[in-house]
Amino acid sequence: MRIYPAAPLLLHESGKDCMVGGYRIPSGTMLLMNVWAIQNDPKNWEDPEKFKPERFLGLKGTGNGYNYKLMSFGTGRRRCPGENLGMRMIGLTMATLIQCFEWERPTNEMIDMTAGVGLIAPKAKPLVAKCQSRGMMAKLLSQM
């Protein structure tokens, strides 16, 4: 969500005349916010290209809805109202998938993380993985 945001560009419209980086932005101008660049900026994150989930432990917003370091759910007044539920569900879902299944790559090749072309940043090659239910979980999974 941070390294590879689903929507790397967010579209906004300026509500009033303003100056940004020395440029005058008239009211009503359509703006593209480069979420990928912000969320991968070394000024915001130490080693931004590395996957380190522990960096999010204790991460707090600013309280006003404007956390420009992590914008997976948008920002400001228009951010997703289900952000807290979404973050909790991601943890629960990942824990369940890890607990219930053994995961492996179909080949020994490294996973290709090259970005493809598209509005929502697909990968150039889809991720293929093999999963098998863990022995102790097979009965539980069959009851679901």
Predicted pLDDT at 102: 92
* Residues making up the binding site for heme: 80
The structure tokens 């931004």 sit at: 48
Q: What is the pLDDT along the chain (144 residues), one digit of tens a residue?
A: 777 887 788 888 899 999 988 999 999 999 988 888 888 889 888 898 888 888 777 666 544 545 556 777 777 777 788 888 888 898 889 998 999 899 999 899 888 888 777 777 778 888 889 999 888 777 777 777
Rounded to 5 degrees, φ, ψ at 36 are -60, -45
Nearest partner of 51 among 16, 102, 115, 4, judged by Cα: 4
Report the distance separating Cα 23 and Cα 44, nearest Å.
23
* Residues making up the binding site: 80
Predicted pLDDT at 26: 96
Report the distance separating Cα 118 and Cα 127, nearest Å.
16
Nearest partner of 40 among 13, 67, 69, judged by Cα: 69
pTM over the 0.85 mark: no
Report the distance separating Cα 19 and Cα 10, nearest Å.
19
